[in-house]
Amino acid sequence: MCLAIPAKVKSIDGVEAEVEVGGVSRKASIMLTPEARVGDYVLLHTGYAINVIDEEEAQETLKIFQEIAEAEDRESSG
């Protein structure tokens, strides 16, 4: 199973972008998504932006990830 996570594009330098996920910034290749612009959300998989998505979809997905993490925390502590 592969997992891609939404990340917000903060800056672009050629085919490399700085993206942010959960307050953490990292470098990512936008070679596969040359249409990506600063402010866009992209799906990030193994360091590559594989698709540009709208903000609503990104926020919904991030909310689901947060709910999963909280559920796992409750299970492990209880």
Show the tokens assigned to 61.
């997905």
Closest CA to 50 of 2, 4, 1: 4
pLDDT tens for the chain, residues 1 to 78: 678 999 999 999 999 999 999 899 999 999 999 999 999 999 999 999 999 999 999 999 999 988 998 998 888 876
pLDDT at 32: 97
Where in the chain are the domains? Answer: 5-77
CATH 3.20.20.140 fits 5-77, yes or no: no
Give the number of other Cβ atoms within 10 Å of residue 41's Cβ. 23
Report pLDDT for 1. 64
d(CA 58, CA 68): 16
DSSP per-residue letters across 46-75: TTEEEEEE-HHHHHHHHHHHHHHHHHHHHH
